[in-house]
Structure formats: C-alpha cells, structure tokens
C-alpha cells in the first residue's frame, strides 16, 4: 500500500468515527426549574467536556488530514535540486515558492513536444526582436507562461512579431495574483519595463489565499500531482472587516523546506488556516459526515459577514463556495490597488488581462454567467484598463455557426493552443497599442512605408 493511500485510509476512519450526536449537537439546553440548578451545573460541566472532546477530535482530524499532504524528504530534495518534474520542470524559490526549469514535454498540439527555455533574467526565452530594448513585461500564471506551446508560440511572441518589438514573459505556472504582484516588484528592480501586462486567470484569485497549495491535494500519487507545490507567500483577508494581511513564504530558506515533512510544524502553522477549514469541510462531506463541519463553518461565515443556517450538505457547499470566492475576489481587488500604487510610484502603466479556464468560458457562452462580476465592477469603478477574454470569446463565438464544445476545441487543449495564444495577442493588442508611447513601428504613422525591396520608399 502506498504512503499516500495509507494516509487517506487513516483520515477516512477518523472522519467516520467523529460524529456521535453528543459531539455534533451544539444547540443550547432548555431552561431548567430552580430545583435542577445542581443538575444544570453538572450538565454544563458535561457539555464543556463534550466541547473539549470535540475540539480534540477536530485537532486529531486536522492532523490526520495534514499528514496526508506532507512532503517526503525525497520530494523536498527534488525541489531543491530542480528535479521536480511535474507538468513542466520546476524548482524551489525561497521568495515565490517555485520557478520554472528548462525542459521539453510531449503535451503540445497534435502530440508535439513543447520546448521551454529561459533567459538569464528568468523570463521565458525571447525570440522576436530580442536585440531591441524591451519596454513591455508580462506577469501571470500558466496562461501567461503559455504552457503546452514552445517558446516561439506564446502570445507574447505573436504580439512581439506584430508590434516589431520584444515582449518579455515572466509568467510562472500555478502563480496567484499575489505571487505575480510580488514577482513584478522583484523583477522590475532588475529588468524594468515602462509597461506592465498583468494576466489574471480564473483560479488565480483563490490561489492568493493558499499558503500551501498542497493543502487541497492530499494524495501524492494522484494524477494531478502538479498541485503538490511548496509553500508560497499569501494573504489573509476578511471582506466583512476589510482585513488584508500579507505573509511571506512560510518556508523561505532551502533548509526550511524540510518543515513540510514535519506533521507538528504543519499543524502549528496551518491549524487555523482559512483554506484548510474549507478543505476539511469538503472532505467531511465526501466521507459522508458533512454535519461535523456545520457549526465551524457557520461560525466562519458569520465572521466573514455571511449569515446562514447550515443544516444540509447543499447549504454547506454553497456557503463554502461563497466564503472562498468572496475572500478571493476581495484579495485580488486589494492586490490590484497595491499594483497601481507601485506603478504610480515607479512611473509605469499597467494593462490587466482576464483569462479563463475552459469550463468558465463554456459556462459564459452557454448561460451568460460569470463568477467574477464583482471584480469586473471594481476595475470599471477604478477606471483601470483591462481586456476581458470572456467577452472577447463571446463576440468571437457569435461569428461561428458551430456548437460551444467544437468552438472551444479550436482554442483550448487544457491551456491555449497556438491559435488560442494568437487570439489572446490580438484581443489585447488594441488597448496595449493605445497605451504605448511612442507607438510601435507597426502603428507609427511617421515611419516611411515601403512596397519594394527593404529600404525602398513607397511611391
């Protein structure tokens, strides 16, 4: 039996035994006659013991779950030596959590091999016009890094070829909005650019709340092992109170990464984690004991300004979704405000691009719904320039007489195909060109146009 499977079995057994009526019922007792005061004291004492017992069992359950996400020492060594070959090779980064390593993977279009190489700056290798000065830096996650395509097929390279000037790619797979903000501050000190493109993807909002992405991925042998990444800088927020707290990577040094193999360390650092409470509630529901988390999640919801009475699993799941999304979007809004503050201080201009996982695009095309309207309203209220690829896809889809699934296959293969990256490039180039001063060669009216051999003026 694998280590991951044995851990999950122990977790399942613990979850199933923790829901006796005495433990799960936290309703207040009925008023007692005066003659029963002594009995009331005894009852309160018993109730206190029940609560204490429940707290201990919750602690035990938390430890059981955290044990299932611990790294092995071999995993830590692979991260430190840059041999963690997940989806694309990655290595440990003390500040950001992780970064890419050059490699080749057969996961491109038509089963082709995608090649990933990087310049000394840490950006993905620039191909087009790399001999020219670069004034555009881009930040984001895998939809900025452009997973599943080779260096010359990214939307940055397509855009560079059109603008006749280089576009630098600082995207890193799995990054949150907060990580891309921090990387922007780090890289702009070393490789600055006047213009910044921040590409915010569907899951990036939630990722800002994760101090350790592996909390949501308990089984090391799971096919989505790519989610088992080290700890990262994160934020704690409360939309109800306006709280916004920034935290550095909990494992900021190579030797500290071995803490991820230590259950006691993991428990002390994550036992009160907002995301862990939500993950544990979902796990209890999977194990058939959702009622165990009702009281805890109602309390958490109240603290975050959500009044609800949870008495069934459907209400539980809706509350969990609402808690996570409200916190995530609130975090992104505060982070964007920090980006704007940084840009103003350093004389930079920022264009925001909103990109989406295939299921979100499908839902928008089919139902006209989106999960991030609050964030869109925020960008509009702040009058910040942005490109909404969801709306771009809706306008594009209207030009076709095909089904949604067939349409999406044109652009997606998990991440964007080369055609999807072209779609991104030409969806954002209009607003980007409007920002650029002086205008790029492709849009500079003062540049002489030639129709003959190179250098021959047009007659």
Residue 98 is encoded by which pair of tokens?
């992780």
* pTM reported for the whole predicted model: 0.87
Helix residue ranges per DSSP H, 17-165:
21-24, 37-69, 73-80, 142-145, 155-163
What DSSP string runs through 354-370? EE--HHHHHHHHHH---
Tell me how far CA of residue 193 lies from CA of 166, 184, 335, in angstroms.
Answer: 11, 10, 20
Q: Backbone dihedral region of 332: left (phi > 0), alpha (psi from -120 to 50 degrees) or beta?
A: alpha
Cβ–Cβ under 8 Å, residues 298 and 310: yes
Q: What's the pLDDT at 35?
A: 42
What pLDDT is attached to residue 88?
85
pLDDT the model gives residue 216: 76
Residue 192 neighbours by CB under 8 Å, 6+ apart: 137, 346
Q: How far is CA 234 from CA 97, 182, 249, 323, 453, in A?
A: 10, 10, 7, 17, 55
Q: How many CA atoms lie within 13 A of 231 on its CB side?
A: 25
Report CA-CA distances (Å) from 275 to 207, 284, 307.
10, 14, 19
What percentage of the chain's residues is helix, strand, coil (to nearest 5)? 50, 15, 35
324 close to 316: Cβ distance less than 8 angstroms: no
Q: Where are the beta strands (DSSP E) in 325-414?
A: 349-355, 386-388, 412-413
pLDDT at 29: 37
pLDDT number for residue 397 = 98
Q: What is the pLDDT of residue 48?
A: 60
* List of the chain residues with pLDDT < 70: 1-54, 86, 217-227, 446-459
Residue 61's pLDDT is 87
Q: Which residues pair with 457 in a beta bridge?
A: 450
pLDDT given for residue 239 in this prediction? 98
CA distances from 440 to 11, 159, 351, 429, 437 (A): 58, 11, 16, 11, 8
Q: Are 81 and 150 in contact (CB under 8 A)?
A: no
208 closest CA partner among 178, 228, 173? 178
Strand blocks (E) in 126-265: 136-140, 168-169, 195-201, 234-238, 243-247
- Whole-number pLDDT of residue 281: 95
Q: Are strands 195-201 and 243-247 parallel, antiparallel or unpaired?
A: unpaired
């Amino acid at each position: 039996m694998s280590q991951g499977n044995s851990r999950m079995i122990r977790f399942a057994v613990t979850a199933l035994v923790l829901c006796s009526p005495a433990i799960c019922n936290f309703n207040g007792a009925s008023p007692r006659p005066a003659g029963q005061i002594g009995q009331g004291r005894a009852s309160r004492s018993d109730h206190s013991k029940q609560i204490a017992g429940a707290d201990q069992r919750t602690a035990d359950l938390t430890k059981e779950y955290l044990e299932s996400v611990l790294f092995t020492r071999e995993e830590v060594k692979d991260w430190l030596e840059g041999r963690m070959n997940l989806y694309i090779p990655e290595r440990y980064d003390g500040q950001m959590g992780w970064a890419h390593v050059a490699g080749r993977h057969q996961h491109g279009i038509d089963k082709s091999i995608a090649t990933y190489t990087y310049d000394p700056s840490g950006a993905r290798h620039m191909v087009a016009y790399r001999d020219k000065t670069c004034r555009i830096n881009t930040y984001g996650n895998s939809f900025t890094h452009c997973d599943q395509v080779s260096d010359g097929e990214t939307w940055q390279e397509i855009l560079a070829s059109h603008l006749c000037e280089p576009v630098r790619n600082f995207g890193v797979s799995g990054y949150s909005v907060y990580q891309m903000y921090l990387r922007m501050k780090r890289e702009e000190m070393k490789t600055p650019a006047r213009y910044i493109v921040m590409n915010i993807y569907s899951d990036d909002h939630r990722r800002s709340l994760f101090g350790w992405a592996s909390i949501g991925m308990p089984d090391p042998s799971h096919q989505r092992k790519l989610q088992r990444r080290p700890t990262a800088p994160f934020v704690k927020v409360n939309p109800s109170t306006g709280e916004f707290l920034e935290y550095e990577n909990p494992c900021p040094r190579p030797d500290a990464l071995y803490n991820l193999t230590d259950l006691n360390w993991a428990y002390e650092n994550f036992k009160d984690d907002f995301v862990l409470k939500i993950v544990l509630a979902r796990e209890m529901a999977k194990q058939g004991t959702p009622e165990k988390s009702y009281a805890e999640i109602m309390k958490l919801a109240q603290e975050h300004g959500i009044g609800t009475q949870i008495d069934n699993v459907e209400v539980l799941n809706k509350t969990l979704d609402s808690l996570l999304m409200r916190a995530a979007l609130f975090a992104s809004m505060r982070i964007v405000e920090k980006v704007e503050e940084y840009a103003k201080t350093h004389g930079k201009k920022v264009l925001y691009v909103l990109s989406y996982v295939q299921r979100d695009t499908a839902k928008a095309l089919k139902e006209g719904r989106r999960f991030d309207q609050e964030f869109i309203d925020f960008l509009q209220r702040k009058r910040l320039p942005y490109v909404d690829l969801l709306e771009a896809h809706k306008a594009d889809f209207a030009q076709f007489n095909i089904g949604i699934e067939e349409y999406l296959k044109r652009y997606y293969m998990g991440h964007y195909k080369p055609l999807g990256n072209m779609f991104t490039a030409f969806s954002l180039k209009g607003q980007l060109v409007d920002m650029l001063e002086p205008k790029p060669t492709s849009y500079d009216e003062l540049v002489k146009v030639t129709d003959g051999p190179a250098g021959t003026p047009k007659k």
